[in-house]
Amino acid sequence: MRVLFVVPPLTGHVNPTIAVAAELAARGHQVAWTGPAAALAPLLPPGALLYSAGDRGAADGYDVLHQRWRDLRGVAALRFLWAEALIPLAHAMLPGVHSAVAAFAPDVLVTDQQALAGPVVARRLGLPWATSATTSAEFTRPFDGFPKVGEWVTQRIAGLLADCGAPGGWDPRFSPQLVLVFSTPELIGTPELTGPPELTDDRYAFVGPAFGARPPAGDFPWRRLDPARARVLVSLGTLNREAGARFYPAVLDAAEALGDRVQLILAAPGDLAATAPPHVLHQEYVPQLQLLPHLDAVLCHGGHNTVCEALAHGLPLVVAPVRDDQPIVARQVAEAGAGVRVRFGRARTDELRHALTAVLDNPAHRSAARRIQASFAAAGGATTAADRLEKLAGTDRPRTEKGL
């Protein structure tokens, strides 16, 4: 089987495909990626087969977009995402995705929900395709309270299809054949209650998170981890770091108010955390997956990858959503009982202190996190995703317990 992953230049959307691709390759299948090559190359494993699609002015174009987007919130951020990023990205990627399909001759396309050129090409050429859903936001009726916003998004998608000469009446965010959801109902909520009725259809595969290899984050001072303190990672992810100018100091003040019982591991730009006290372990980047087993809790922005990585280790969360799908993910964490949601834009020291105390002292939060952890393990992650892709391509075969 030959599988082509169609992805946007976003770390959280690429990482799960790396894990699934590794599982497929271990089974003897061939894998490749297509998308903006300048931005994707540093995110993929060395030697990965990558076909360029959408490199409009190389990575500089995406840097400019990020600078314009990072200060937006709410509906303004959503409109910018669709009008200035996703729709133009689809148009830019379309010729390259066609060329990648012609060169690689895939049996199956796996296309991210934000890489809309992939479904257009798959449908045009009659190729089997699966959706890669790296966030659970689309499965919780996100626009129920904002019907006009939902209608506006639907119109943008319809306009894209018309511009591409594709037939209307279908949604490229959801494959009619297979949707790989990198989460579980224990976090998202019961599908029949939180999402559209069709979520109970077998084409929706809730495989749980899939963790692939990550680029090295440099040296980490492991010896500075204090076993006498509760260790809490503070991270705003790769795209929201610069937005934390007011947030980081509030977190530092909250931890200081807790005295000697907490050690923060702060993943933040140096100039935003220059006032960190000596016991705070501050680095620009941290080896997050390797660090999580040594932690007691995580304070983050609600990025789906970070949330799922923390919960996969049974860690409760304090979630301060910034924009996009993050408020939905934060709500899911709180409703599942696995953490506490706090404000980001107007974060207060006392609110953060109470939230940190709650996730560290209330055993119910850790119990809920471990319940979700168990659901992730049972879902199968990359192994289950590879099984479903083999079935989609008609190449599945009986396996022993060792997968041979």
Distance CA 153, CA 133 (A): 17
Tell me which H or E stretch contains 205: strand 204-206
Instruction: Answer yes or no: are the C-beta atoms of 20 and 382 closer than 8 Å.
Output: yes
Residues 238 and 272 in one domain: yes
pLDDT of residue 247: 87
Q: Which residues of 325-340 are buried (b: 16+ CB within 10 A; e: fewer)?
A: bbbbbbbbbbebbbbb
For position 280, what pLDDT does the model report? 87
pLDDT at 275: 66
Helix boundaries (H) for 233-347:
247-257, 288-291, 304-312, 326-336
Residues 62 and 15 in one domain: yes
How far apart CA 237 and CA 100 sit, in angstroms, is 30
H or E, element range at 62: helix 58-69
> Structurally, how many domains does the chain consist of?
2
Whether residue 198 is found in the same domain as residue 257? no
Report pLDDT for 355: 96
**Residue 401 within any structural domain of the chain:** no
- Same-domain check for residues 236 and 325: yes
What's residue 13's pLDDT? 92
Give residue 189's pLDDT. Answer: 81
Query: Residue 214 domain-assigned?
Result: no
Domain check: are 389 and 369 in the same one?
Answer: no
Domain that holds residue 327: 222-376
Give the pLDDT confidence score for residue 324 in this predicted structure: 79
Q: Is 107 helix (H, G, I), strand (E, B) or coil?
A: coil
Q: What is the pLDDT of residue 77?
A: 75
What is the spatial distance between Cα 49 and Cα 31, in angstroms, rounded to a whole number? 7
Would you give per-residue pLDDT tens digits along the chain (404 residues)? 999 999 999 888 999 999 999 999 999 999 999 999 999 999 999 999 999 999 864 444 555 665 565 666 667 777 888 888 899 999 999 999 999 999 999 999 999 999 999 999 999 999 999 999 998 877 776 666 667 878 888 999 999 999 999 999 999 999 999 999 999 999 988 655 455 556 668 899 999 999 876 666 568 899 999 999 999 999 987 655 556 668 888 899 998 888 889 999 998 877 655 567 777 898 888 899 999 999 999 999 999 999 999 999 999 999 999 887 888 899 999 999 999 999 988 888 999 999 999 999 999 999 999 999 999 999 999 999 999 999 999 876 554 443 33
The answer on 295 and 361 residing in a single domain is yes
Global pTM value: 0.88
Tell me which DSSP letter residue 30 carries: E
Q: Where is 112: in which H helix or E strand?
A: strand 108-112
Mapping DSSP onto H, E and C, the string for 32-68 reads: EEEECHHHHHHHCCCCCCEEECCCCCHHHHHHHHHHH
CATH code where residue 327 lies? 3.40.50.2000
Domain membership flag for residue 400: no
Pairing of strands 204-206, 30-35: unpaired
Q: What is the helix (H) or strand (E) element at residue 368, kind and residue range?
A: helix 363-379
* C-alpha span between 100 and 85 (Å, rounded): 21
Q: Same domain for 252 and 351?
A: yes
- Considering the domain architecture, whether residues 235 and 203 belong to the same structural domain is answered as no
Q: Are residues 142 and 326 in contact, defined by beta-carbon separation less than 8 angstroms? A: no
Same domain, 137 and 285: no
